A and B are shown apart, each in its own frame.
Chain A
Amino acid sequence: MTKIYIPRDMAALAMGAKKVVAAVQKEAAARGLSVEIIRNGSRGMLWLEPLVEVETAAGRVGYGPVKPSDVASLFDAGFLSGGAHPLAIGKVEEHPYFARQRRVTFQRCGVIDPVSFAEYAAHGGYKGLDRAFQIGPEATVAEIAASGLRGRGGAGFPTGIKWKTVADCPAGKKYVVVNADEGDSGTFADRMIMEGDPFSLIEGMTICAFAIGSDKGYVYLRSEYPIVAEIFNEALVAARAAGVLGKNVRGSNLSFDIELRIGAGAYVCGEETSLLESLEGKRGIVRAKPPLPAHEGLFGKPTVVNNVLSMATAPMILADGGAAYHAMGMDRSRGTIPLQIAGNVKYAGLCEVPFGLKLGEIVNDIGGGTLSGRPVRAVQVGGPLGAYVPVSLFDTPFDYEAYTKVDSLIGHGGLVVFDDTVDMSWMARFGMEFCAIESCGKCTPCRIGSTRGVETIDKIRAGENVEGNIELLKDLCNTMKFGSLCALGGFAPYPVESALRHFPEDFHKPALEAAAE
């Protein structure tokens, strides 16, 4: 029986994967051919979705993007044995986009059946937890610290220090919480790993539970990802059946289980303290820090709150050792970063590489420039709270500190490419509008400032006292940056200020138009 892989990833579904599955089944039955369709995750070459892979004697070969109407011709071309076809891309792992990557966190994503525990185990799964059991909780925390892993949610806080802080709290109820409230536009890495390799997150959380002494984990997932919820819940059931969740995990003394909780459309719940409030059943209002969640987190108990990617990387770090992870990357940004290249870009997808790639390489070499074919004008890096970076800064290496130096942030590793038709004063206005819609309302700079920001940008766009209002807007940004309680109000000025700094001409349009008349 020939194995065919057709992703169940949400992006593949959005491009018609379900209909492709039905068409392949129908065509195979009509031709009396026996095939087994495995619903894998995505390989990350998203412009090729739905990417249909066939297991042949020579390895896995791919065809994409496949439409239901292509299926008959694929059979005609003998795709079950890797036959030539206009949609053929050859061996998937030899594709240039794939070959230049260093797949660590995403090593199994797209390769295995995401809800098969046996396949996870056969591809190196649970080596990390087994090693953690061997070396003990303290050495486990030390491995994470030695790896140099920093929080992939955006703040870049050293994961090892966070785990150690909770591990050092007196024994008692402690929680492992995973932040899967991936709300930043241009990001989808959490979604992809949870759809493509959910056991890596489950194993990572279990390693963390062992290291800090916890028996309960929560994953807080955004409601916009219904397919993740479906797949992750299936994986939880399979994990319990395999004895890697529940009482005496893998025969050890550790008892640990995970519950999936669904958010309700509030962007601010991606902020860790707001997320904890929401998990407790309250409004997602940001808490003042200190106390840190590590000391007083969920229900007032010591809590590790990590992003999905940070947690899903822990198994590899334990299996191969912290030094192996630390060996990749640059300066204080160690290991790999799953870049998410999106927006107006030709080869959109997820590309896991060591830190340090220049922005220009990412956008032009990997991304292939704009989809529209027009020149790139700006790239928003790090989500709606990230700066718009102009082409003149394309030499900036992808690194936490290098981005801070150019008043920007790498956030969760998302990049949204814009061509030269973008109106940057409109994007600045949208940044403020988004902040106003999503503000939790607790602190004044964010709650009122964002609304005043929209009004002020509207005046600028209407040509009303432009210079005076730009000064006012800069002042407002300053107040929000330094006066807000959390990153929503504190970082919302980044896109606005960067638009003003790098694209001032877009804020003087009415005046220019008037002068031209």
Chain B
Amino acid sequence: MSGAVTWDAARAQEIISAHLGLEGPALPILHALKEEFGYVPDAAVPQMAEALNISRAEMYGVLTFYHDFNREPHGRHVLKICRAESCQSMGAEKMALDFLARLKLEWHKTTPDGALTVEPVYCLGLCSHSPSAMFDGEPIGRVDGARLDELAQEARSA
């Protein structure tokens, strides 16, 4: 989750080959590539298309369809803030927009120092503890502006 490593076509090929025994392996491969490198660059498209025996256009379509597969590296840390209805009922929209304004950031963007990427998420299933967020895969309930600022600080210092 935190930080991206340099794309390595040979390593990517190993990952792709390891999954070819699965039925419908495209998503498991994309997840494994993201896990390894922190993102899935366009360079993966021809490699995967070749291995899966589909056209590059089709493969590109798959990669770009899903919100999870970022084609550019994220920051060292990723903060997802829920924008769905339950969190909105507890004031999440204003909380998130104020936080982004303090960081001078837009949704999906990374702070200039590469510390933190902030993404919207549409429900974490923590609707009993709205507003909710997820920081590097750790769920957080009843989050507020002060807690978000702490997380941003934590991201910068680690």
Q: How large is the interface on A (under 10, 10 to 19, 20 to 34, 35 or more residues)?
A: 35 or more
Q: Mark B59-103, 1 if CB is under 8 A from A, else 0.
A: 001100111110000000000000011111110000000000000
B68 touches A343 (CB 8 A): no
Q: Mark A255-277, 1 if CB is under 8 A from B, else 0.
A: 00001011111110000000000
Shortest Cβ gap from A226 to chain B (Å)? 6
A97 sits at the interface (CB 8 A): no
Pick from B23, B28, B132: contact of A14, CB under 8 Å: B132
B127 touches A279 (CB 8 A): no
A14 touches B31 (CB 8 A): no
Q: Report B1-46 residues with CB < 8 Å from chain A CB.
A: 22-28, 30-31
Alpha-carbon distance A434/B67, docked complex (angstroms): 13
Pick from A186, A282, A348: contact of B85, CB under 8 Å: A186
Alpha-carbon distance A342/B92, docked complex (angstroms): 14
Which residues in B have their C-beta under 8 angstroms from that of A380? 85
Q: Mark B115-158, 1 if CB is under 8 A from A, else 0.
A: 00000011111111110101001111110000000000000000
B52 sits at the interface (CB 8 A): yes
Alpha-carbon distance A341/B127, docked complex (angstroms): 8
Which residues in B have their C-beta under 8 angstroms from that of A267? 122
Shortest Cβ gap from A408 to chain B (Å)? 15
Which residues in A have their C-beta under 8 angstroms from that of B24? 279-281, 299
In this complex, what residue of B is CB-closest to A47? Answer: B128
A487 sits at the interface (CB 8 A): no
A510 sits at the interface (CB 8 A): no
Pick from A261, A278, A340: contact of B127, CB under 8 Å: A340
Which residues in B have their C-beta under 8 angstroms from that of A224? 121, 123-125, 134
Alpha-carbon distance A434/B85, docked complex (angstroms): 10
Q: Contacts A343-B90, A384-B85, A422-B89: A266 and B66 contacting too (C-beta < 8 A)?
A: yes
A438 touches B90 (CB 8 A): no
Shortest Cβ gap from B120 to chain A (Å)? 9
Alpha-carbon distance A284/B24, docked complex (angstroms): 13
Q: Contacts A264-B67, A283-B62, A342-B127: A430 and B88 contacting too (C-beta < 8 A)?
A: yes
Q: With contacts defined as CB atoms under 8 Å apart, how many contacts are there between chain A and chain B in the complex?
A: 149
Pick from B85, B89, B127: contact of A188, CB under 8 Å: B127
Shortest Cβ gap from A174 to chain B (Å)? 14
Pick from A11, A261, A283, A416: contact of B86, CB under 8 Å: A416
A438 touches B122 (CB 8 A): yes
In this complex, what residue of B is CB-closest to A342? Answer: B127
Interface size on B, residues (CB 8 A): 43
A185 touches B30 (CB 8 A): no
A265 touches B128 (CB 8 A): no
User: Which of A185, A265, A416 has the most chain B CB within a 10 Å cutoff?
Assistant: A185
Alpha-carbon distance A419/B31, docked complex (angstroms): 40
Which residues in B have their C-beta under 8 angstroms from that of A341? 128
Q: Contacts A185-B123, A343-B130, A371-B90: A14 and B85 contacting too (C-beta < 8 A)?
A: no
In this complex, what residue of B is CB-closest to A414? Answer: B127
B140 touches A14 (CB 8 A): yes
Alpha-carbon distance A266/B61, docked complex (angstroms): 14
Alpha-carbon distance A454/B22, docked complex (angstroms): 41
Which residues in A have their C-beta under 8 angstroms from that of B127? 185-188, 340, 342-343, 348, 414, 416
A223 touches B68 (CB 8 A): yes
A227 sits at the interface (CB 8 A): yes
User: Which of B66, B121, B123 has the most chain A CB within a 10 Å cutoff?
Assistant: B123
Alpha-carbon distance A225/B139, docked complex (angstroms): 9
A185 touches B86 (CB 8 A): yes
B123 touches A184 (CB 8 A): yes
B85 touches A430 (CB 8 A): yes
Shortest Cβ gap from A435 to chain B (Å)? 11
Q: A264-B27, A279-B24, A371-B90 are in contact. List 13 more A-B contacts (CB 8 A).
A: A11-B139, A14-B132, A185-B84, A185-B87, A187-B127, A264-B30, A264-B68, A265-B121, A280-B24, A281-B24, A284-B66, A344-B130, A384-B122
Shortest Cβ-Cβ A-B pairs, 9 listed = A281-B26, A185-B84, A342-B127, A265-B67, A264-B66, A348-B128, A14-B141, A46-B128, A343-B89
Q: List 21 A-B contacts (CB under 8 A).
A: A10-B139, A11-B128, A14-B132, A14-B140, A185-B86, A185-B87, A185-B122, A188-B126, A223-B68, A226-B137, A259-B22, A264-B27, A265-B67, A265-B68, A284-B65, A284-B66, A285-B65, A349-B128, A384-B84, A434-B84, A434-B122
Interface residues of B (CB under 8 A from A): 22-28, 30-31, 52, 58, 61-62, 65-69, 84-90, 121-130, 132, 134, 137-142
